[in-house]
Structure 1
Amino acid sequence: MGDAESALWLSEAFAAMAEALHGQPSRDQVLQEITELAATTADGAQYAGVTLLRRGKPLESPAYTHPLVPAVDLAQTETGEGPCIPNPDSDRGLAEPVVRIEDMSAERRWPRFACEAARLGVASMLSCRLVEERDVSGRLNLLAAEPGAFGVETAKTMAVLATHAAMALSAATAIENLSNAVASRQVIGEATGILMERHRVTSREAFGMLVRASQSLNVKLREIALHVVSTGQNPAELGPADFAGAARP
């Protein structure tokens, strides 16, 4: 395939990818679509996955094409190093848009992680920045059992895919947050109406009853409202046992 044909193929492939990504209705589905597109598009890739790192928490593996991927993420968490783990001195890896590990047996930047990855059967890795914000960072990772699986052109291709994916992920997250906000507003309105009718209070007073219960129990306002809607119970009578496992503010 010549340069012109290759460029045309990539253009058509990325147009199809963008349509597929932006057509996904939720954040989780976008993440899964990203991993599947990466695994089938990148030359040399056997497995793909998205890795997220939230402040103060271990690495998360929300989407992957094979169980080996979260095992590699766990190796990064346990060794405290790798392309998805921030270096306390330089943030090495996270600051780089694309990181290539050509041969785990010869990797010197993250030797403990490389040793564990090699033990799991991974010889080479390509990691592309997907999102990097104040409280969360994410990378798109490709793995292969053979050394030198990912060349410069593959790295460039995946960097473009990661850019498309990041935009689709941002859009899906915004839509999901908006949908959740609308749903929360609706249930809080229902709970307020129930309290107004049962306790003969004003709308402001009913909302205040929900807020006080939320603050007293350290439970999200939406969870308090859901409980009131399903049981009709006075929020002042609720206790911690009523919200075992509920989300905290």
Structure 2
Amino acid sequence: MIDDDALVWFAEIARDLASQPSEQAVLDRVVELAVEVIDGCDDAGILLLHHKRDVATAASSSRRVRDSDAEQARLREGPCFDAALNTAPWHNKVYRSEDTATEPRWPKYMPRARELGIGSMLGFQLYNTQESFGAMDLYGHRRHAFDVTTERQGWVLASHAAVALTSARTDEQLRTAIATRQEIGQASGILMERHGLSGEAAFTVLKRTSQDNNIKLRTVAEEVVRTGRLPGT
């Protein structure tokens, strides 16, 4: 049975993340919440892995987090690196290292973690798509900073973060699509007026220019709106 305080906590996190205006704002707020509400969490970050190769720190609470991500990227191992790549069922996508001094896993990364002042770590997968992978990383300066309770707290935050990120990404894609449609409409109108083209013919010119120059259609439209000329002419 979940008590009333826990239910309120769940609701507050959901509302907080849902109110963020962009995907980056969600990522930044997740990091802030992790340090604020999860017991033993001194630092937090979001690690992104593109095409299983390129690692980036999307949000972080300190330089320590960014350095840790860089080391995991260089060594191709670590709790957060593995959490991002994990393809196991959701409940198995959590990695907890209670003591970096005695942790037998990730033998190349753990000495660097200790040098960075990291005593304990938690890694949670946020999402896993064909092109990108994301993990939430929690760091404790002392050993045994995390236990089963804090792992559950982190899992709840990561779950809410995953939902909020999906929503924010969908909203941004919709706004981008609308903006692109408006740019293309304006560019088509300019070509129609200047060259006496029909709407269909003007759009065909934009598409052909995009294909011939290997430029995104929106970029072509932006250039026409900004300069009145097609790129490459």
Letter in 1 for 2:22: S
1:132-166 CA distance string (max 9 Å, x none): 22222111111011111100110011111111111
Q: CA deviation at 1:193?
A: 0.5
What pairs with 1:8-23 in structure 2 (closer than 5 Å)? 8-23=4-19
Q: CA deviation at 1:85?
A: 3.0
Q: CA deviation at 1:86?
A: 4.8
Q: Does 1:139 align with 2:160?
A: no
What secondary structure does 1:117 align onto? helix
Q: Does 1:118 align with 2:123?
A: no
Q: Flag the 1:208–1:192 CA change in 2: closer, same or farther, 3 A.
A: same
Q: CA deviation at 1:57?
A: 3.6
Work out whether residues 79 and 121 of structure 2, in 8 Å CA contact, stay in contact via their aligned partners in 1: no
Match of 1:80 in 2: 76
Q: Does 1:212 align with 2:208?
A: yes
Match of 1:158 in 2: 154
TM-score normalised by L of structure 1: 0.87
1:181-201 CA distance string (max 9 Å, x none): 000000011000000111111
Cα distance between partner residues in 2 of 1:92 and 1:64? 19
In angstroms, what is the RMSD of aligned CA positions? 1.9
Q: CA deviation at 1:68?
A: 1.2
1:17-72 CA distance string (max 9 Å, x none): 11110011111101111111111111100001111111054211111111211111
Q: Does 1:70 align with 2:66?
A: yes
Selected match of 2:48 from 35, 49, 52: 52
| Percentage of identical aligned residues | 39
Q: Flag the 1:93–1:147 CA change in 2: closer, same or farther, 3 A.
A: farther
1:192-241 CA distance string (max 9 Å, x none): 0000111111111111111111112211110110010010013451xxxx
1:84-117 CA distance string (max 9 Å, x none): 3359xxx975633211011112222211111111
Cα distance between partner residues in 1 of 2:79 and 2:130? 18
Work out whether residues 23 and 168 of structure 2, in 8 Å CA contact, stay in contact via their aligned partners in 1: yes
Cα distance between partner residues in 1 of 2:109 and 2:87? 15
TM-score normalised by L of structure 2: 0.93
Cα distance between partner residues in 2 of 1:218 and 1:171? 31
Work out whether residues 101 and 107 of structure 1, in 8 Å CA contact, stay in contact via their aligned partners in 2: yes
What secondary structure does 2:54 align onto? coil
Match of 2:195 in 1: 199
Letter in 1 for 2:30: I
Matched length: 230
What secondary structure does 1:37 align onto? helix
Q: Flag the 1:135–1:35 CA change in 2: closer, same or farther, 3 A.
A: same
Match of 2:34 in 1: 38
Match of 2:163 in 1: 167
Letter in 2 for 1:40: E
Selected match of 2:25 from 21, 25, 29: 29
Cα distance between partner residues in 2 of 1:236 and 1:58? 33
Q: CA deviation at 1:9?
A: 2.2
Work out whether residues 130 and 140 of structure 1, in 8 Å CA contact, stay in contact via their aligned partners in 2: yes
What secondary structure does 1:53 align onto? strand
Letter in 2 for 1:109: R
Give ranges in structure 2 of 5+ residues lacking alignment. none
